Amino acid sequence: MINGCKRRFRQGVMMALLWCAGAVLPAFAASAAVDVNTATEAALTEVRGIGPAMARRIVEARAQGGAFRDVDDLADRVPGVGPRSAANLQAAGLTFGKTGAAAKAEKAAGGGKPPKGATPVAGDKR
């Protein structure tokens, strides 16, 4: 009798844990990184805070002015997106690819392709 109660209790706890995991995991999946410079309208709408209309405005601004450098550039170029909402979008998973600080840091460190006419070094796979 006692073993049966323990077993049912454990099953109940396991079911509760599985239910909680099912409720929480989609929230983490929705916060996956989306690159604003390469994403489609549909992909942009996966970011919390971006609806179909804002996604359309982001894609249109990107088509007219090129890649977004950073969160400030997004706020400046997309109508209806201010500095606060742009920061919230970035916190929700919106990224800026290698067009911003990452590209500058890589370029300064000598990353990327070797200069034109450079002699390849053994073991260099660039």
pLDDT category at 40 given cuts 50, 70, 90 is: very high
Question: For the whole model, what pTM was predicted?
Answer: 0.56
- pLDDT (tens digit per residue) in 41-84: 999 999 999 999 999 999 999 999 999 999 999 999 999 999 99
d(CA 124, CA 126): 6
- pLDDT (tens digit per residue) in 112-125: 555 555 555 555 55
8 Å CB contact between 36 and 95:
yes
pLDDT category at 32 given cuts 50, 70, 90 is: confident
- Looking at every residue in the chain, the average pLDDT score rounds to 75
Structural domains in the chain, sorted by start: 30-107 (1.10.150.280)
